[in-house]
Amino acid sequence: MLLVEARNLPSHVGIIMDGNGRWAQLRGAARVEGHREGSRAVRRVVRAARRLGLRALTLYAFSEQNWSRPEDEVDALMLLLRDFLLSERGEILNNGIRLNAVGNIGKLPAIVRAVLDPLRKDSETATEMTLTLALSYGGREEIAMAARELACDVKDGRLRPEDITTDALRRRMPSLCVGDPDLVIRTGGERRISNFLLYGLAYAELHFSDTLWPDFDAVDLYEAIENYQRRERRFGLVGKPAPPDEKLAHTSNASREPLAIDNRHLRLVG
């Protein structure tokens, strides 16, 4: 049984969804089959995140560097993305989810833009959860874009060089309009960041899962969050003295009253 505290949820969770290709290869199938199963995992995880009450979920769906993959794989990913947006439109709108996209959106093909743009617009006032798809996204590219914007403001006399602060940079980064990520999960066994949310990652907790993305489900998400809740975030400050028995302090807390029984795997406690 996993124990997740409702009061201590990460506000913004980012996920690097890796392992689709290997999932397919293990089954002797084409890579696109892994991506197809991967988009089913996206549905599951978005639902689980919304049910749990996360405020923001950012999914690394297509990196700026992914354009260099074989053309048929890129085309298949774009079709899957369009299908996802079409099939989830109702659920997104009915559940208070704001659909956002960050990255070089102008590079996406018209078949994606035709469904993405109206859904962004139609969901823009939703307040329960922001689902951000990072598409044609790169963390370095985003930092460079923010720096360019600030440089233009200085050149045109709207900003003084001394006003270029860490916050001024952050405010120019669309991926951080929902706040810095508190927790970033990478599936598929690799332990790297691959140009995801670079600037916002400064104090994020990282969780690496060996599960290949198409197999990732609600329980894996709960596990990552439970693990996050066991950590002490210090933001560069000194830590609290450790309780006599860390493990005991975490698991036996008589004052925790269950808020909801989510399913047989999870107890959400207040």
Amino acid at 92: I
CB nearer to ligand FPP: give 14 or 188. 188
With binding defined as CB under 6 A, does residue 205 bind ligand FPP? no
CB nearer to ligand FPP: give 70 or 244. 70
With binding defined as CB under 6 A, does residue 186 bind ligand FPP? no
Q: 3-class DSSP state for residue 57?
A: strand
Evaluate whether 1 touches 170 at the Cβ level (below 8 Å).
no
With binding defined as CB under 6 A, does residue 175 bind ligand FPP? no
Annotated active-site residue 227? The verdict is no
Annotated active-site residue 66? The verdict is yes
DSSP letter (8 states) at residue 248: H
Residues 235-254 within binding reach of ligand FPP (CB under 6 A): none
CB nearer to ligand FPP: give 75 or 262. 75
With binding defined as CB under 6 A, does residue 268 bind ligand FPP? no
Between the CA atoms of 212, 215, 216 and 222, what dihedral angle is there, to the nearest 10 degrees?
A: -130
172 Cβ contact list (under 8 Å, min separation 6):
145, 146, 149, 150
**Complete edge-to-edge strand list for the sheet that includes strand 183-186:** 97-102, 129-137, 56-63, 12-16, 183-186, 205-208
Point out which span in 17-25, 163-171, 197-205, 220-228 binds ligand FPP (CB under 6 A).
17-25
Which residues pair with residue 93 across a beta bridge?
A: none
Q: Closest CB to ligand FPP belongs to which residue? A: 21
Helical spans, DSSP H, in 156-213: 166-171
With binding defined as CB under 6 A, does residue 55 bind ligand FPP? no
Rounded to the nearest whole angstrom, what is the least distance from the CB of residue 250 to ligand FPP in the complex?
Answer: 32
- Give dist(CA 174, CA 135) in Å, integer: 12
Residues that bind ligand FPP (CB under 6 A): 17-22, 35, 38-39, 42, 59, 61, 66, 77, 80-81, 84, 133, 188, 213
